[in-house]
Structure 1
Amino acid sequence: MANNFVVFISYSHDSPEHKRWVSELAVKLRHNGIDTTLDQWDLQPGDDITRFMERGILDADRILVVCTDNYVSKANAGEGGVGYERMIITKKNIEKQGNLKFIPIIRQTLTEDKTPEFLKDRVSIDFTDDNQFDAKFEELLHERLLVPPVQRPDVPHIESLRIKNYRALRDIELKQLKPLTVLLGANGSGKSTFFDVFAFLTECFTVGLHQAWNKRGGLKELRSRGCDGPIEFELKYREKPKSPIITYHLSIDENTEGPFVETEWLQWRVGRGGKHVRFLNFERGTGSIIPGEKPDKTGTPIKEQLDGTSTLAVNMVGQSAQHPRVGALRRFITDWHLSYLSTDATRQTTDDGPQKRLSTTGDNLTNVIQYLQERYPERLEKIISLLSDRVPRLEMVDTELMMDGRRLLKIKDAPFEQPILAKFTSDGTLKLLSYLILFHDRQPPQLIGIEEPENYLHPRLLTGLVDACRVACMMSQFMITTHSSRFVNELYPDEVWVLYRDEQGFTVCKRASEMQGIEQLLDAGRKLGKLWMEGFFEFGDPLTNAGGPKRNLHAH
């Protein structure tokens, strides 16, 4: 199948839940290499809607028609956008395009008419049972869209995170985290501190507890003001979808010799109704671990003495093939990518040669592009194509080896014949290029954290950036902070957490979907980011009560 194979999705805006279902279907299609056209992504305010529908339907290789009672009724009656699309998809056009182009998808129908009249003779796919979604998607992908099956790696997913005594995070817990999680809040509300938790844990595993601890000023600067006891992290995660939840607990304190691990343990429960098994349990450098692929109570614990009290048991024991569950967590945490992207860093010249993955600052951007040029030119071509869709006139991204061994990054835009050096390229172009390279890594980080990705980008590009994040979420979990209402407009309320500092100065958080009236306003067609800016959120407004709860949340 050609790389430019295009699918257009025709559907009715029945409800926010239905729109989200269609969006998630489109994300999965894009992740599997299908260039999918969806109004939620590709139709901007002020665009010509009729032209969008005409071009989308006529130019697409396949048209997915998502059938609900509402869609069928509107199509048969010729009403609204669905009715206009029905006019475009005439019987003559169907006959001309052949039987393969139009694929009815049955999503929700209570009447006998499962599809519109013009698709009565088309074989449909039944997506009404969400429990069968994966199987039906495979049928759509491989049997109807003819995409060859590809074995994809299982991606770990953090289900919840609890943090205690870490700076302003005295006791905070985020539950039922989504593949895309976005934090909002006034300046100083604790977003960056939450972000730093992931950086701190990664550094504990990569450079060691002492260095990560001292870099942040030690216990005096790290422990929540006026609080006693150790700093604690508790992470609940799955190694792959539907696998048992594993809980990782890490407690750190400090004495005259420096930081030490007070307690560290791992536990899970295998099977329904089974009891929790703590298969790794350490305290101050001494403990035990149950080996094996599926450690349970029948296993014999092996006693271990670590190199010191500041050594993390998971980091040391996880290097042994005897302990695959521990090793999986170690690989997961050390693979996290916390982006501190600097456009100045991306402009650097380098002589280090090709490199596989973008660094946290982006200072090896030229090296990664060189790697893609030499090893995976088709992947680089795809990235440049995506970038050119967002940056007008951009034509080429290239690297050039200088006489002194350094390599320069060059970017060419139309109508000029000669490319310019990266140091003269706009910050926004370099930032988008860096993000696209990170998202399209052949083995992307299993968790990606980004602070304020909207910086330097035109507001209308943020829809596409959220789209790119959603596609990348198939292989990576995202943690993002933002101050952009445009970015938030493209999110679902259960993906958004709002933070504020209480009267004691500690961070409190709440999911947007749990705030009074938000779901109802979204059902009425309002945008989430606009609701945030217009004061409908219960807190998070820096000009009202210092970002805290509104004393009288007035009706709008």
Structure 2
Amino acid sequence: MSIQSVTIKGFRSVRNITLPLQQLNIISGANGCGKSNLYKAVRLLHEAANGRLSEAIAEEGGIQKVMWAGGHRAGDRAKDPKRMILSVEMQHYDYQMEIGFPEPLISLFALDPLVKKENLWLSGYQRRRMSELMERVNQAAFLKNVDGERVSYPMLLTQEDSLFGQLADPHLYPEISQIRETMRNWRFYHEFSVSSSSSMRVPQVGIRSPVLSHDGANLAAAFETLRERGQTETLLTILQKAFPHTQFYVEELGGRFQMMMKKEGVLRPLESAEFSDGTLRFLCLVVALLSPRPPYFMALNEPENSLHPDLLPTLAMLIAEASQYTQILVTTHSPDLAKMIQTYREVNHIQLDQKQGETVIVAIS
């Protein structure tokens, strides 16, 4: 269920881009060229599948802040209403969602998105009606059910969210449900919170966690789960390579877990509250990439941030190794990290630039 390509139209600095993806992908470019915008656009597809489209757009400042702010170009259909289009082509399915502005003067909720259209097709049929599994226009939808019949969806949809987030009786629509679960399985990691009040710096209730949360809040539980599930040797080898003469472990305090560190020359163990920002972020990346439950797809947005250059070779090796089990997309402004990753595995390297405010692809190698 790997992603073949992602098309993004009308999102922030992205007017119209199609990203061809392979098993291991790197997006690079100068600061401000739009790398994070591509990452965020792909993440919106994941959030839509989780029923969080409105919340995710609100976190970005509302619909007005995420729409393309540039002018029309030659070939644009200027008479059409302004739309953001997110489309993903997978091995067997194509999915597309069109998002527009709310109607003016009708509601105070002017920052909410409106899902205008939503479609799901079997791939390889040029998106014809015969291959259509889902067609949604505004609040009405037609779905192909378990018997292969095209039926009207019996519920009136709310326009602020994807049909995926409102799908009832998923067993009646198995293929649509399968795509929803696939997109929910994707993982995204960016800027782990490492402030003094971060959840990672204080003991947390420990439950088995084969998946690191997107903000790293369950780091200690995910670390211990990884260790107990037979990844001890790999985990310790990587950490010894990155932090020589240092031991990391989890301390249990009445059901609450806390990361601890013993360092040669330091007379007492250090608690996670005393870890450097870079150490915490690196631990999160290690646990995410070694997950005992690998996702179909994982995106890392500028993972080199706050890391010492000495940690980059180990990070590159870890990303390359993880790509054997998970399709990976890495955005980075570090040419060194990109080169290091390429020494381990073949990479689909997409280089970006920004011209007149528009994010463009300048090279694919």
Classify the TM-score, shorter chain. Answer: 0.7 to 0.9
1:194 aligns with 2:38: yes
Q: Which residue of 2 aligns with 1:216?
A: 60
Q: Which residue of 2 aligns with 1:352?
A: 205
Q: What CA distance in whole angstroms lies between the structure 2 residues aligned with 1:396 and 1:255?
A: 50
Decide whether aligned partners of structure 1 residues 183 and 319 sit closer, same or farther in structure 2, where only a CA change above 3 A counts.
Answer: farther
Q: What CA distance in whole angstroms lies between the structure 2 residues aligned with 1:325 and 1:412?
A: 50
Q: CA deviation at 1:248?
A: 0.4
Q: Is residue 95–residue 121 contact of structure 2 (8 Å, CA) maintained in 1?
A: yes
Match of 1:453 among 282, 300, 303: 303
Q: CA deviation at 1:416?
A: 5.0
Q: What CA distance in whole angstroms lies between the structure 1 residues aligned with 2:101 and 2:23?
A: 34
Q: Deviations over 1:368-409 (max 9, x none)?
A: 234446x53x3245312321122110234222316xx65432
Q: Is residue 343–residue 431 contact of structure 1 (8 Å, CA) maintained in 2?
A: yes
Question: How many residue pairs end up in the alignment?
Answer: 340
Q: CA deviation at 1:301?
A: 0.6
Q: Which residue of 1 aligns with 2:121?
A: 267
Write out aligned runs for 1:267-286 (5 A): 267-269=121-123, 277-286=131-140
1:333 aligns with 2:153: no
Q: Is residue 317–residue 341 contact of structure 2 (8 Å, CA) maintained in 1?
A: no
Taking only the aligned residue pairs, the percentage that are identical comes to 24
Q: What CA distance in whole angstroms lies between the structure 1 residues aligned with 2:162 and 2:19?
A: 24
Match of 2:252 among 400, 403, 420: 400
Structure 1 residue runs of 5 or longer lacking an equivalent are 1-155, 239-244, 514-556
Q: Is residue 498–residue 511 contact of structure 1 (8 Å, CA) maintained in 2?
A: yes
Give 4+ residue runs of structure 1 displaced > 6 Å after superposition.
none
Q: What CA distance in whole angstroms lies between the structure 2 residues aligned with 1:427 and 1:215?
A: 24
1:388 aligns with 2:225: no
Q: What CA distance in whole angstroms lies between the structure 2 residues aligned with 1:220 and 1:425?
A: 39
SS at match of 1:280: strand
Q: Which residue of 2 aligns with 1:179?
A: 23
Q: Deviations over 1:5-30 (max 9, x none)?
A: xxxxxxxxxxxxxxxxxxxxxxxxxx
Q: Which residue of 2 aligns with 1:343?
A: 194
Q: What CA distance in whole angstroms lies between the structure 1 residues aligned with 2:360 and 2:59?
A: 26
Structure 1 residue identity aligned to 2:97? L
Structure 2 residue identity aligned to 1:501? Q
Q: Which residue of 1 aligns with 2:336?
A: 486
SS at match of 1:189: coil
SS at match of 2:101: strand
Decide whether aligned partners of structure 1 residues 216 and 418 sit closer, same or farther in structure 2, where only a CA change above 3 A counts.
Answer: closer
Q: Is residue 369–residue 399 contact of structure 1 (8 Å, CA) maintained in 2?
A: no
Q: Which residue of 2 aligns with 1:108?
A: none
1:253 aligns with 2:100: yes
SS at match of 2:171: coil
Q: CA deviation at 1:269?
A: 4.4
Q: What CA distance in whole angstroms lies between the structure 2 residues aligned with 1:436 and 1:360?
A: 13
Q: What CA distance in whole angstroms lies between the structure 2 residues aligned with 1:358 and 1:491?
A: 22
Structure 1 residue identity aligned to 2:6? L
Structure 1 residue identity aligned to 2:213? S
Write out aligned runs for 1:21-420 (5 A): 156-175=1-20, 177-225=21-69, 226=71, 228-238=81-91, 245-256=92-103, 257=107, 258-269=112-123, 277-292=131-146, 299-304=148-153, 305-317=155-167, 320-340=170-190, 341-344=192-195, 345=198, 347-356=200-209, 357-372=211-226, 375-376=228-229, 378-401=230-253, 406-414=256-264, 418-420=268-270
Q: Which residue of 1 aligns with 2:271?
A: 421
Q: CA deviation at 1:286?
A: 1.0
Q: Which has the higher helix share?
A: 1
Q: CA deviation at 1:501?
A: 1.5
Q: Is residue 226–residue 287 contact of structure 2 (8 Å, CA) maintained in 1?
A: no
Q: CA deviation at 1:231?
A: 0.8
Q: Which residue of 1 aligns with 2:78?
A: none
TM-score, normalised via structure 1 length? 0.56
Q: Is residue 198–residue 338 contact of structure 1 (8 Å, CA) maintained in 2?
A: no
- Higher-RCO chain (CA-CA 8 Å, sequence separation at least 6): 2
Q: What CA distance in whole angstroms lies between the structure 1 residues aligned with 2:207 and 2:310?
A: 33
Q: Deviations over 1:151-208 (max 9, x none)?
A: xxxxx21110111111111111112x12221111122111111111123222233353
Decide whether aligned partners of structure 1 residues 271 and 278 sit closer, same or farther in structure 2, where only a CA change above 3 A counts.
Answer: closer
SS at match of 1:384: helix
Q: What CA distance in whole angstroms lies between the structure 2 residues aligned with 1:510 and 1:498?
A: 6
Q: Is residue 261–residue 269 contact of structure 2 (8 Å, CA) maintained in 1?
A: yes
Q: What CA distance in whole angstroms lies between the structure 1 residues aligned with 2:353 and 2:124?
A: 37
SS at match of 1:455: coil
Computing the radius of gyration from Cα coordinates, the structure with the larger value is 1
Q: What CA distance in whole angstroms lies between the structure 2 residues aligned with 1:422 and 1:363?
A: 12
Structure 1 residue identity aligned to 2:102? N
Q: Which has the higher strand share?
A: 2
Decide whether aligned partners of structure 1 residues 167 and 439 sit closer, same or farther in structure 2, where only a CA change above 3 A counts.
Answer: same
SS at match of 2:165: helix
Q: Deviations over 1:24-64 (max 9, x none)?
A: xxxxxxxxxxxxxxxxxxxxxxxxxxxxxxxxxxxxxxxxx
Q: Is residue 318–residue 324 contact of structure 1 (8 Å, CA) maintained in 2?
A: no
Q: Deviations over 1:110-164 (max 9, x none)?
A: xxxxxxxxxxxxxxxxxxxxxxxxxxxxxxxxxxxxxxxxxxxxxx211101111
Q: What CA distance in whole angstroms lies between the structure 2 residues aligned with 1:283 and 1:371?
A: 44
Q: What CA distance in whole angstroms lies between the structure 2 residues aligned with 1:502 and 1:495?
A: 23
Structure 2 residue identity aligned to 1:250? M
Decide whether aligned partners of structure 1 residues 368 and 398 sit closer, same or farther in structure 2, where only a CA change above 3 A counts.
Answer: same
Q: Which residue of 2 aligns with 1:73?
A: none
TM-score, normalised via structure 2 length? 0.83
Q: What CA distance in whole angstroms lies between the structure 2 residues aligned with 1:416 and 1:333?
A: 45
Structure 2 residue runs of 5 or longer lacking an equivalent are 73-80
